Amino acid sequence: MQIDTIVNARWIIPVDPDGAVFEQHSLAIDNGRIIDLLPIADAQSQYQAATVTELPRHALLPGLVNAHTHTAMTLLRGIADDLPLMEWLNNHIWPLEQQWMSEAFVRDGTDLAIAEMIRGGTTCFNDMYFFPEVTAHQALQHGMRASVGLILIDFPTVWAENSEQYIEKGLALHEQLRHEPLLSTPFAPHAPYTVSDQPLQRIRVIADELELPIHMHVHETGHEIELAQEQYGQRPLRRLEKLGLLTPNFMAVHMTQITKDEIDLFSRSGAHIVHCPESNLKLASGFCPVAKYLDAGINVALGTDGAASNNDLDMFGEMRTAALLAKGVANDASALPAHTALRMATLNGARALGLEQEIGSLETGKAADCIAIDLQHLETQPLYNPLSQIVYAGSRQQVTDVWIAGRQVLKQRQLTSIDSDDLQNRLTEWRQRLES
């Protein structure tokens, strides 16, 4: 049978079933989709491919899903480090955004983020930022899969004047993009402390009608809880429940401040949690009790947050940090094993975004979003368990090849859709402006 691509790998880690590792296997790809996963010898007898890639030192696994980003904020990487969240936002980030926010800012910051994520094995990101139409355009231009958030916030910005205009512009973008196979468009209200009841109620109704996810920062810090109790007389999660937002289409990002009753409430709702361990640690926001969430049957995905508060978009780092931190918080070395960390970074993220039928695992019929990791590096030798080694010792620098919907966007560490020299020149110009 003639097909587009065969990838022969030393190991294939499909993610589903948990912990599975297939040795000397091939992935068969045609028209951007996986059509088979089988032993190399069988693939050689059954398929003739236009392109054959040999990966004798590599593990092949699904592309990583970064379930919470602010991609354009890569241009603010390293600005105002070592500060708590609200001081960081109010005194540094928001003033800079007010001064510099533009289509060009979002274009160049998104290009940098996409380049960094592809080189780090991320094939899908879930974004929340202004000028989402620019983010969508850049993702399409570079062949990147993206969940482009329809931002909503009460106060005016250069992109919209009020909540009504945010919603109108978001709906127009959804209509424009709804047939793009690489893009989806969840609503992205910023946080309970920046979005009032009326616009939240409106997007809940629209999201139900259009079957769109909702992506929101929730219970990120203790200060947020205090503000909510002063303003609304209740904790944010209870307010969101009363507004009807806690459904299987809801993604709550951070969730570091939580009670047992709230865990039970959240579990019953079927909503998802996006854990951003390194950003939470850097901003001293608190500890997300991941083991308790998993025990309660809650789907937990992983995100990096923006590069201004992390300071990278490295999902390998997030996997390792998530696994180690969960063990320490739970006082249990088995609280979050390696295979669960990998699932959080792949299939759980896809599930949170409503994309689990399309991406997140290497299964027949799914899109061919996959990455190759060279495990022959000294830093991952000797090798006893490839999956465990990837999570606890691997690095994004070992990602050599990346495919999104069957299109190769990284080949032997070289980006195929982004001019690195041109991007570097644009970044130098931004650094000079932002430093002035």
Helix (H, G, I), strand (E, B) or coil at 370: strand
Q: Which is nearest to 35 in space by CA: 6, 77, 70, 11?
A: 6
**324-342 tens-digit pLDDT:** 999 999 999 999 999 999 9
Domains of the chain: 2-62+369-405 (2.30.40.10), 64-352 (3.20.20.140)
Query: Low-confidence residues of the chain, pLDDT below 50?
Result: none
Distant-in-sequence, close-in-space partners of 233: CB < 8 Å, separation ≥ 6: none
Please give the pLDDT value at position 132: 98
Tell me the two tokens of residue 197: 């009841």
Tokens standing for residue 42: 């069988």
Cβ-proximal residues to 165 (8 Å cutoff; 6+ apart), any chain:
none
User: Among 47, 139, 79, 144, which residue's Cα sits nearest to residue 306?
Assistant: 79
Please provide the DSSP assignment of 128-162 as one string: --S-HHHHHHHHHHTT-EEEE-EEE-SS--SS-SS
The pLDDT value given to residue 94 = 86
Residue 252: Cβ within 10 Å count: 26
Gap between the Cα atoms of 19 and 22, Å rounded: 10
Taking alpha carbons only, the member of 337, 188, 216 closest to residue 272 is: 216
pLDDT at 164: 97
Query: How far apart (Å, rounded) are the C-alpha atoms in residues 92 and 176?
Result: 34
Region of 305 (left: φ > 0; alpha: ψ -120 to 50; beta: rest) is left
